[in-house]
Amino acid sequence: MDAGEGDAGHRRLPAGADRISALPDELIQGILAWLPSTGAAARTSALSRRWRRVWTNVPALTFHVEQQRPLGPNSSTPAAVDAALQAYSATAATLSRLDIDVHDASSSASRAAPWLTFASMRLAGELRLSLSGGAAACRQQQAMGVQMFVVHPIQIISNRPPPPHLDLPICERATRIDLARINCELRLPSAGAFAALRVLRIHEAKLVQGDVGRLVSTQCPRLVQLEMCDVSLSVASLAITSKSLERLVLRRVKLGMNGPINVAAPRMYCLTLDGCGDRSAAVTIATTMLADLTWNHAYEPNRHKLDGADRQIYRLVATYGSNVGLFKRFDLVDELCLHLSIPLKTQEYKKFLQDMDELPKTNILEVKGLSTKRHLETTMSHLLGKHTRLTKIKVDLFVKTPKECSPDCNCVTSESWTTDDVDMDSLEEVEISSFTGHLDDIELLKLLFRCKIKIRRLVIHTMPGISLSQEMQKYIWGLVRPHCINLEFETTQFSR
């Protein structure tokens, strides 16, 4: 057989040929797409003349804009981003992703405006823009006399230059838009349609000028997910009507006049309402598909409504101690996550325990967000007595800002801590986080395993920086062994 017959279909190059230049464009583009930034891709032009413009056909562009000198290997200047987008504009390629992360404190919103204009014309996919360095630029402009007035319902007109702002243009073919750390006024378009948009996320926006509700309701016909976190809105209320919306996340969203929130989305199955406006502001949610609910807001049935929602849902995350009305709204929750805001005063704590009778039935119970460990044993004993058909228990022992009773506190007596008569034969797994090995953590374990239980697995995660000694691990294993098949720490596992 001749030397070349075994390589049928493979073109042999003469000795000394430029093998890199001979690679097909599709393969080169695939290689460049895996590089961490577009700047790195452009620098591959030094490898071969044929590579000089191949990067402009890569379907994804990623830029890390920095001020530091010298630049990092994957970093670019704002001028380099301008040049790269201009070069890309000269091609007929379709852009599926544009990712620009700014860490240049000298770059103002005006530098990002042409980048968004480029996206509106060439992007058919995902857009991500983070102006993490924009705060300094905004402060500098304000120090030079730029001042913003937002007063409702009257707008005060100033003779000073307008505040720094960034206009979001219509991106008809964008499927996802992520905007983060917009430390200036973000102006929404009042006309046009984001015809293909399915996900819109706005995180850390100083002020969103325009009606977000109107945008979602009339300009985003295919929007599936809306997420706003740490955002201030210029409008006095939020009203959304959408047939496509399935997931809505609102965390620490400030409304101009702390007005009502009204959402009508028949397909919405996931809702997060966390610290938005005035906690007592009226809220009406209309959906028949609700399955996953996070609610950190007041709940009074006459002002806060979940119209159409079933009395059984998959998951509920709420602050226990201020939402009794919400718990009455449901009969069964597959996963119930309680942030325990435990009161310290005697009468308030006794009512706190009495209100546990209003909790819906559940299969998986998670306890976190503790305000104190002072009465945790008593609280857990009441929870275990209420939910005897649990299959899994998760407890996070971390206390962010401890609140403690006085040393002579007699809110509860030790007799109320007993769980000897609690039969939990359905329980299979227990997971404890932020464990320190201190006495109060050990007492919680003792309380739990005084129940009539036989679990398959106990997992203990310690606090960061804390490592349990072998002696402590063996002590805990001896404590739980009669009731547990497997005990898992970060580095050690006990089994029987």
Q: Are 148 and 164 in contact (CB under 8 A)?
A: no
How far apart are the C-alpha atoms of 485 and 495, rounded to whole Å? 6
pLDDT at 13 over 70: no
pLDDT of residue 203: 96
Judged against a pLDDT cut of 70, whether residue 69 lies above it is answered with no
Mean pLDDT of 274-301: 91
Q: Examine the pLDDT at 10 and tell me if it is beyond 70.
A: no
pLDDT value of residue 474: 94
Rounded Cα distance, 30 and 365, in Å? 47
Alpha carbon distance 179, 473 (integer Å): 46
- pLDDT of 357 strictly over 70: yes
Range in 107-116, 213-222, 430-439, 473-482 with the lowest mean pLDDT: 107-116
Question: Checking DSSP bridges between strand 455-462 and strand 176-187, what pairing results, if any?
Answer: unpaired
- Whether the CB-CB separation of 355 and 328 falls below 8 Å is answered with no
pLDDT, tens only, 167-217: 999 999 999 999 999 988 999 999 999 999 999 999 999 899 999 999 999
Query: Which whole number is the average pLDDT over 391-401?
Result: 89
Would you kindly state where each structural domain of the chain is located, as residue ranges? 311-405+413-496
pLDDT of residue 151: 37
pLDDT band at 442 (very low <50, low <70, confident <90, very high): very high
Q: 């546990």: which residue's tokens?
A: 356
Q: Are 470 and 441 in contact (CB under 8 A)?
A: no
Instruction: Return the bridge partners of 392, or none.
Output: 364, 429
Q: What is the residue-averaged pLDDT of the chain?
A: 82
Residue 31 has pLDDT above 70, yes or no: no
Contacts of 256 (CB under 8 A, 6+ apart): 150, 152, 233, 234, 235, 236
Q: Which residue has better confidence, 90 or 167?
A: 167
Residue with more model confidence, 20 or 337: 337
More confident residue, 5 or 265: 265
Whole-angstrom distance, CA of residue 411 vs CA of residue 346: 5
User: What are residue 101's DSSP bridge partners?
Assistant: 64, 130
| 70-78 long-range Cβ contacts below 8 angstroms, 24+ apart | 73/40, 74/36, 74/37, 74/39, 74/40, 75/37, 75/39, 76/37, 76/38, 76/39, 77/104, 78/102, 78/104, 78/107, 78/111
Residues 6+ apart with CB under 8 A from 83: none
Q: What is the pLDDT of residue 434?
A: 93
* Residue 283 confidence (pLDDT) above 60: yes
pLDDT at 272: 97
Contact indicator for 172, 199 with CB cutoff of 8 Å: no
pLDDT at 231: 94
Residue 93 has pLDDT above 80, yes or no: no
CA dist 443 and 476 (Å) reads 11
pLDDT of 165 over the 80 cut: yes
Residue 242 pLDDT: 98
Question: Cis ω on the peptide bond leading into residue 153 (within 30° of 0)?
Answer: yes
pLDDT band at residue 492 using 50, 70 and 90 as cut-offs: confident
Output the pLDDT for position 496.
73
Buried b (16+ CB within 10 A) or exposed e, 93-124: eebbbbbbbbbbbebbbebbeebbebbbebbb
The structure tokens listed for 92 are 């007929």
* Mean pLDDT, residues 350-365 taken together: 89
| pLDDT of amino acid 8 | 46
Strand-by-strand arrangement of the 261-264 sheet: 238-241, 261-264, 283-286, 304-307
Cα(113)–Cα(184) distance, integer angstroms:
12
- The pLDDT > 70 percentage for the chain reads 76
Instruction: Work out the average pLDDT over 318-341.
Output: 89
CA dihedral 154, 159, 164, 166 (to 10 degrees): 60
The answer to whether the predicted template modeling score (pTM) of the entire model surpasses 0.85 is no
Q: Give me the pLDDT at residue 184, please.
A: 87
Q: What is the pLDDT of residues 111-160, one digit of tens each?
A: 899 999 999 999 999 999 998 754 444 444 444 443 333 334 444 445 56
What's at 126, amino acid-wise? E
Structure confidence at residue 107 (pLDDT) = 62
Q: What is the mean pLDDT of residues 471-482?
A: 93
In this predicted structure, the answer to whether residue 45 has a pLDDT above a threshold of 60 is no
Architecture of the structural domain at 311-405+413-496: Alpha-Beta Horseshoe (3.80)
Residue bearing the bigger pLDDT, 79 or 337: 337
Torsion angle, CA of 121/122/124/126, rounded to 10 degrees?
-100
The pLDDT of residue 25:
62
- β-bridge partners, 317: 294, 337
Which region among 304-313, 346-355, 401-410 has the lowest average model confidence (pLDDT)? Answer: 401-410
pLDDT of residue 11: 54
- What pLDDT sits at residue 149? 34
Alpha-carbon span 29 to 362, nearest angstrom:
52
